[in-house]
Amino acid sequence: MAQIIPIKELKNTLYVSELCHKNREPIYITKNGYGDMVMMSMDFYEDMRKRIEFYEKLLISDKEFEKGEYGEAFIRLEDLRKKYELQADNI
């Protein structure tokens, strides 16, 4: 479940850091009752960045597939799964 905290909670840096690492999801920071920022642990950020990069490359493979370049797309997909240590059921 998404964690939402007011900006004044940022004064307690240890608490916010623990939230980021414990929940393994972004922490939404509000200012005057409105969304202002998002914080996350470095591990979560790196995982998210890898997934985004993977999906971008998957889109390229999908376009190759549409052009009839089937073999290359499947080989590329398998290479990306290995590189980013992703299982087929994770994507």
The residue extents of the domains of the chain are 3-40, 44-90
Rounded Cα distance, 91 and 82, in Å: 13
Determine what percent of the chain is predicted with pLDDT higher than 70.
88
Q: Quick one: pLDDT band at residue 58, thresholds 50, 70, 90?
A: confident
Look at phi and psi of residue 22 and say left if phi exceeds 0, alpha if psi is from -120 to 50, else beta.
alpha
pTM over 0.75: no
Q: Which residue has the tokens 């998210």?
A: 48
Q: Residues 17-30: what's their mean pLDDT? A: 91
Task: Say which CATH class 3-40 falls into.
Answer: alpha beta
Q: Residues 39-58: what's their mean pLDDT? A: 89
Average pLDDT of every residue of the chain: 84
Q: Residues 37-43: what's their mean pLDDT? A: 94
Q: Residues 1-7: what's their mean pLDDT? A: 89
